[in-house]
């Protein structure tokens, strides 16, 4: 029986030893091989500018101050309303007399009205100072016929004041105006007339006299005619009031 010959590999002593894993690779505890780590530069964001923070602080402060002022004003107005219970004054036109309404040689109309207006102050704790610089005018359509003013006076609490006012003026284009009024009377048996009042006043709350404001009153009348006569019959009258600062 022949002998079995075993052949053993012979290592080459002179050949250099080359590791299977590169030297710069890292091994984990489990023996797995990782690729070499590469480091990247970290980009740091620039710190915010101080000017932006200052602007934000100022804006927040301004908004907070404005909100506080609005709340304070609202609370003050609410307290004043509860204490004084303000009510709007009321006005009415009770009487109208036309003393002059005739055509002149220069194609114009001279008009003179006497108007009685009743002003009512329904407030218990509020007085009204009627200041100078008022203006009242009478209009037919878009034509101003005459004008005047209200006297200066003080109207106390729950007071009713009757004003007899004189208005006078001159209107142009008499022929066209008279023909328009005659046509209006023939169609409807009445004439629309408007009174406009602009009155500066000061409101008195208790003992406190406030700043000057303007009362704006607009009255619409329906009269039977616009001829010069003793009395003009007013078939309808309504006045609207507005307050202007």
Whether 243 contacts 168, CB under 8 Å: no
Rounded Cα–Cα distance for residues 229 and 241 (Å):
30
Other CB atoms within a 10 A radius of the CB of residue 197 amount to: 22
Contacts of the segment 237-240: beta carbons below 8 A, 24+ positions apart: 237/92, 237/93, 239/90, 239/91, 239/92, 239/93
Mean pLDDT in residue range 197-201: 96
**pTM for the whole structure:** 0.69
Whether 113 contacts 97, CB under 8 Å: yes
Whether 231 contacts 97, CB under 8 Å: yes
Q: Which of 81-90, 94-103, 163-172, 218-227 has the lowest mean pLDDT?
A: 81-90
pLDDT in tens, 5-50: 555 555 554 555 555 555 555 554 545 555 556 665 555 555 555 5
pLDDT at 9: 52
Rounded Cα–Cα distance for residues 88 and 75 (Å):
21
Q: Is the pLDDT of residue 223 over 80?
A: yes
Q: Is the pLDDT of residue 62 over 50?
A: yes
Rounded Cα–Cα distance for residues 118 and 95 (Å):
10
pLDDT in tens, 127-152: 999 999 999 999 999 999 999 999 99
pLDDT in tens, 167-188: 999 988 887 888 888 899 889 9
Whether 98 contacts 148, CB under 8 Å: no
Share of the chain above pLDDT 90, in %: 49
């Amino acid at each position: 029986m022949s002998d079995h010959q075993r052949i053993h590999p012979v290592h080459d002593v002179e050949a250099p030893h080359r590791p299977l894993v590169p030297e710069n690779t890292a091994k984990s505890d489990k023996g797995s091989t990782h690729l070499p780590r590469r480091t990247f530069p970290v980009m740091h964001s620039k710190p915010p500018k101080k000017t932006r923070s200052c602007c934000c602080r100022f804006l927040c402060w301004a908004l907070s101050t404005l909100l506080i002022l609005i709340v304070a004003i609202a609370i003050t107005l609410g307290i004043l309303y509860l204490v004084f219970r303000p009510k709007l004054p009321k006005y009415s036109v009770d009487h109208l007399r036309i003393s002059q309404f005739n055509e002149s040689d220069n194609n114009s109309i001279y008009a003179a009205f006497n108007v009685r207006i009743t002003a009512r102050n329904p407030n218990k704790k509020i007085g009204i100072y009627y200041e100078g610089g008022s203006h009242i005018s009478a209009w037919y359509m878009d034509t101003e016929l005459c004008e005047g003013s209200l006297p200066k006076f003080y109207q106390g609490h729950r007071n009713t004041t009757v004003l007899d006012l004189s208005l006078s003026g001159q209107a142009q284009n008499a022929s066209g105006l008279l023909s328009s009024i005659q046509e209006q009377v023939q169609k409807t048996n009445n004439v629309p007339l408007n009174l406009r009042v602009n009155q500066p006043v000061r409101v008195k709350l208790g003992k406190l006299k406030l700043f000057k404001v303007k009362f704006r009153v607009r009255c619409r009348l329906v009269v039977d005619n616009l001829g010069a006569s003793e009395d003009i019959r007013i078939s309808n009258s309504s006045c609207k009031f507005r307050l202007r600062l």
